[in-house]
Amino acid sequence: MNKSSHLAREIVETLALTLIIFLVIHFTIQNYQVDGTSMEASLHNNEYVLVNKQAYLFQPPARGDVIVFYWPVDTTKDLIKRVIGLPGDTIVTTSSTVQVDGVVLQEPYVKVPFNLEGRQWTVPANDYFVMGDNRQFSDDSRDWGFVPKSYIIGKAVMVYWPINQWQFINTYSSVFSTIKPSH
């Protein structure tokens, strides 16, 4: 094999490998810029997070997961919130508490416990109930209803920008550990 055909083969292999890596990353990871204060103190306005788009390929979302999804009111917009209720769960709010299937959540991620009014929801099959951590300033399932599973883009796993805010996103699984498994 002469030098020019060897070089051409190397270039083609490098380009093919680059394309494969690009496609794998494109279909598994997405970045998302937090817009607003609805997830404070966990996430802040203009932070960038990595979203695992394959997280729910073999398992459903869990309570406490922070997800990015298409907003059911306007699917051209993406939102980021915490999963509170799974299909079949009954969610009850008072002015300052959230209950899931009768268990009052002790939520260390909530800035100020706040709900406009006491309400009750039962999460339908294939839907999820989500809330922002900054309850006073969060437009979420309390206002516009449930998030269909098909609208979920993926699980937010880490803050990567700004670099001094780098962290894995805490799902606070212990907060939800006393609730019976999903139906």
Tokens of 135: 């309850």
Which residue of the set 42, 81, 138, 141 is catalytic? 81
Is 81 designated active site? yes
| Cis, peptide link before residue 162, omega less than 30° from 0 | yes
Contact 166, 50 (CB under 8 A): no
CB 12 within 8 A of CB 5: no
Choose the catalytic residue: 3, 5, 38, 53.
38
- Closest-CA residue to 60 (of 121, 148, 167): 148
What is the Cα–Cα distance from 139 to 19, expressed in whole angstroms? 39
To the query of whether residue 38 is one of the catalytic residues in this protein, the response is yes
Residue 35 φ then ψ, to 5°: -120, 105
Catalytic residues: 38, 81
